[in-house]
Structure 1
Amino acid sequence: MIQLFYSPGTACLAPHFLLEELGIAYELVLIDTAKQQHQEATYLKLNPKGKIPFLIDGDLHLSESAAICLYLAEKYADAKQSSHFNPAVGTTERARLYQWMFYLSNTLQAELLSYFYPERLSNDEATAVQVKAHAEQRVAEMLRYIDTQLNITPGTYLLGQELSCADLFLFMLCRWTRGMTKPAREYPHLKPYLQKLFDRPSIRNSLAQEGISAPYY
């Protein structure tokens, strides 16, 4: 059985959502980062990076949230009659899926990490405060861009009419903005988009399983 090692509310959420969407049997394995369990020898033997999430599927050991999502979609979506999660290689839909997954993981997620962990970029407390403030400004610019794209893209989701793992990934990242001056839920097109996603059983079930309470996003 697939095992997903997780810490509540972290980057494990996107693959967790996808496992629920695909209806795959899996086991959640809690790694309590507050207790530094991700740095314990037992976990580091499995995942030397000491990061969350981490997936075990047979002999495969896989880290990085976006990579886990793409792997699950490629391996299981068609068999689970959820082929919209796995557009054919070489198609426009596949290219757009890659574009969104790389943008979200390499650009928006990276900036969010600067917002939450400014001390990683400066040992000076005053400078760290500035880093956090500038990161929030850049996140706002990215959210405005995504909001505009949702408005001009035909259909409900990032790729159009069909839900993709990019949507699940975006919901996770938008949830992380809930404490910002202007969270994602306050943008005109993101607001109904996030509500529609939140209404999906896969997302509600995952949040409940991880013990996450309101505000959800």
Structure 2
Amino acid sequence: MIALYYFPGNASLLPHMMLREIGAPFELRLVNRDQNAQKSPEYLKLNPNGRIPVLVDGDLVLFETAAIALHLVDTFPDAGLAPAVGTRERAEFYKWMIHLTNTPQAEYRAWFYPHEHASDEAAVPSVKQAAERRLNRMFDVISEQLGDRTWLLGDRFSAADLFLLMLIRWGRGMPRPPRTIPNLNALAERVLARPAVQQAFEAEGLKAPFV
């Protein structure tokens, strides 16, 4: 049995949506951030970084969202959440997964937790503003690359689209939310309409506005 350690709306949302898409049995295990449970000795044995998510698959314990996602697409290839290994399309899939985890996902850390990036409290607003500018540019680039295609990989839906939905959602409180970019909003709405995604949002108790 697969177990996913999660907190509503956190980075665990990506593997949660993927597991719903896959249809494999799994167990959700809440890590209550409101009680700082991600820093508990028990959880730190699973992820010494004290971050969410963690996936336990038999005797395999994985942290890092993108690593969990890639493990799931490899373990359940029939779910169709990634193109076949060795194809050009698979390379494009890797490109998007690595870009999303290394670029906007990483940048959100400075937006949500600017105090971690400044030794002087007076600099915190400046750190947040700079992160906002970088995130805006990142989403502009993603929008330019997406163009008028249905999905990041063109006509094929993949886990990368689930990833992008999560990141668009995270920006809903920004002065210029990613959803205000028309083609990103359209992609987000298409992903949100998927039954598995609706099930994940319902299970986590996520309320509108979703993005």
**1:189 shift after superposition:** 0.8
The one-character-per-residue Cα deviations of 1:28-72 (angstroms, maximum 9, x if unpaired) are 000001101111122222332221000000011001111101100
Q: Secondary structure at the match of 1:38?
A: helix
1:111 to 107, 111, 120: 107
Name the structure 2 match of 1:195: 189
Which residue pairs with 1:19 in the alignment? 19
Report the identity percentage. 46
**Counterpart amino acid of residue 3 in structure 1:** A
1:109 deviates by: 0.7
Q: Distance in 1 between matches of 2:196 and 2:85?
A: 26
Indicate yes or no: 2:85 matched with 1:86: no
Q: Does 1:144 align with 2:140?
A: yes
Whole-angstrom distance in 2 between the partners of 1:197 and 1:86: 15
Find the counterpart in structure 1 of residue 157 from structure 2. 163
Shift of 1:21: 0.6
Uncovered stretches (5+) of structure 1, i.e. residues with no partner: none
Say which SS state the counterpart of residue 177 (structure 1) adopts: helix
- SS of 2:199's equivalent? helix
User: Which residue pairs with 2:40 in the alignment?
Assistant: 40
Equivalent residue number for residue 207 of structure 2: 213
Query: Secondary structure at 1:189's aligned position in 2?
Result: helix
Q: Counterpart amino acid of 1:41?
A: P
Contact 2:11 2:52 in 1 (8 A): yes
Q: Alpha-carbon deviation of 1:90?
A: 2.3
Map 1:125-140 onto structure 2 (within 5 A).
125-140=121-136
TM-score (norm 2): 0.96
Q: RMSD of the alignment, in Å?
A: 1.1
| Count of aligned residue pairs for this structure pair | 211
Task: Report the TM-score when normalising by structure 1.
Answer: 0.94
Return 5+ residue gaps in structure 2 as ranges: none
Q: Deviation digits for residues 166-200 of structure 1, max 9, x if unmatched?
A: 11111001100001111111102112111111111
For residues 122 and 162 of structure 1, the distance between their equivalents in structure 2, rounded to whole angstroms, comes to: 42
